[in-house]
Structure 1
Amino acid sequence: MGGSSSSKLQDKHVVIVGGGYGGITLANHLKGKCKFTLIDPRETFHHTIGGLRAVVEKGYSNLIFIPYAPTFGESFKQGKAVSVDTTAKKVVLETGDEISYDYLVLATGSSGVFPVKIDLSVTDASEAMEMYNSYVDKIDAAKDIVIIGGGPVGIELAGEIATDKKDKKITIIHSRSALINNGTFNDKFKKRLRKGLQAKGVEILFEQKVSNLAELPPDGSARCTVKTDKGSEVEADLVFACIGLKTNSSAYSEAFSDKLDEIGCLKVDEFLRVEGYTDVFAIGDCSAADGEAKLAFKASVHAEVVAQNLQLHEDGKHLKTYKPPINMIVVPLGRNGGVAQMGNSIVVGNMITKIVKSKHLFTSRYWGDMGQEMPTNVK
């Protein structure tokens, strides 16, 4: 970039709310180009892609929490954003601190259930690591494990446990007639996932909804009976409810109440700006840009487009249109393989899936992206 165009952006302050995959990608792109502040309630980036392995491999949790401060220094602010004032152009934190912006990028992500997500109230990395390690012990002690939900998270969790803990009886209870509800992915892909799980001894109950979810111990503290609306009863020592991500919209829901879709995502234009605004963008899970396909790699693509558009806007040039990347999903069934779909029709199995994702879960990549050395005290 030329000096004159760069200097225009250097005079601006970009505030990024949320340090997930999109947030850290954008922050890295803005280094040396402008003043920015990355805000997140936690002190560390949570590499959620590795969370499912962290409940079967003791010590793997050390690898999925990467501190922000060594990467972003004073450009990182730990805190919870609670509101946005678009008139004064400020983000308000739970502490009462106010951070002014020239541009605001909302990257607040989504919440879900452990082990792929951790409640935002858990801000200390050591506490989160201990949660993962405690579940390694719980899985080791369990004989019968029930996973509620046959989406990517439930499938990957079943695959991780079945691969490393072959003595466990694992049952997936899924409300639909095929694995993965997203209609973007084809029948061949879904059938190969089913066969891969069944080859590992995983039983799948299709078209059944758990009817007593509220009565089930969420922490494996007691053996229980999981009941379904079709009359099935499955005994379990441990139950994982891998259902339903919720958009983290509390920080912006009041300021942008008329810009939300039915699940709290922000409606954006073709440049990923929140509709009606030229200085506010939304990326990742809190953006409605990709509909139901909420994937980590898409958050990073959003961030790259926004980084370019911030510069283009300052240069007075036409902004770059966001074009959704090719449909792609890679679902490991443990560390040795899985199934992936690329485009609308290409489906591949264990060898390519292992190389692309299953073996390493992109863990070393994100330590590299954060400019830090990955710990070597686990395999």
Structure 2
Amino acid sequence: VCPDCKRPVQKAGGEENWFFKLSEFGDKLLEFYEENPDFIRPETRKNEIVSFVKSGLKDLSISRSTFDWGVPLPFDEGHVAYVWADALLAYLTGIGYGDEGERAGEFDARWPMQYHFVGKDITRFHCVIWPAMLMAAGMPITHTVFGHGFLLTKGEKMSKSKGNALKPADLCRVFGVDAYRYYFMSDVQFGADGSISLERMVQVYNADLANTWGNLCSRVFNMTKKYFDGQVPEVPVSAAALVEANPLREITEELYAEYDRALGDVDFTAAAAAVQKLAGRVNLYVEESAPWNLAKNEETADELAAVIYNALEAIRIIALYMAPFMPNTSAEVFRRLSLGDIAAVDDIEAATAWGQLPAGNAVEIGDPLFPRLDTDAIDLSME
């Protein structure tokens, strides 16, 4: 009985096949893995593949002769190509391999790819068969194949029969596309299986987005409106030192290296956590500085300007770092800060250097970026 579909198996009749001599590539693949330690990621997938190859490889059937649907083999008219051979070759032909017309040159510009993301259940095809085929053809191999995990709901595989499936369209309708993206990139460790639930999504949404990032923007923008007529304050010379040396600037000066390293490792969770650490510190900075008290006394007006400027500048930087996770929200924050199109920023390291928010920019208040959600009030029933 098939362990997946639970149907009885039947012995098929014999047929003539062409084979790819995969058995000859075992040692070559193991040597390649050794010389390219980042080819298979994460480490758990790499260990599985190395163990599989060491156990011995058999030649791979790449044709069928009992039916005619499929791509005919050019050297044997009675055979058609059979997966995975033709499917894997589509990675090359899909980017113009062999095309001498309009797409001539595209393949050379695009191959080899830097990252290839696949489900963990098809890593053998992409980390054993595919590189062996490329070796046989004398072609460069993908730099890294990343086998990601499965999404589970409350520890179980999603199933219509169990009634535990969460549909992306329903979740986007409740959370919005940006918050939906943020949840899966921050709370589900990429590469491993992730167990998700509506309750957990609401918890992350309220804690990270409504209470931290969204609340930070609302309170600082509102104070800018209240204390500086909705404009980024010009910090007087007497308070310039408070802008040059403050705890927020200290964090931002180290943030790029941590963020870049995390994204380079395809660790979206660590990258999001690094940015959230700054957002949390800005909220604490506002509480510690108490602008509402500084505004009561003319003697502390200069300090008030420095505090609000620092908070606004940190928000600008957070928006830049959050853009890959939540592009629409970051674009809205930039709009409210009168900073133009965030998509035009092409050097995030340079753009996140401290002190680039122009004084005098209009700051717009608006609806909360992330209104709080109540799990009990959410209805995921389909219309």
Task: Report the TM-score, using the length of structure 2 for normalisation.
Answer: 0.21
Q: Name the one with the larger strand percent.
A: 1
For CA contacts below 8 A with separation 6 or more, give which structure has more relative contact order: 1
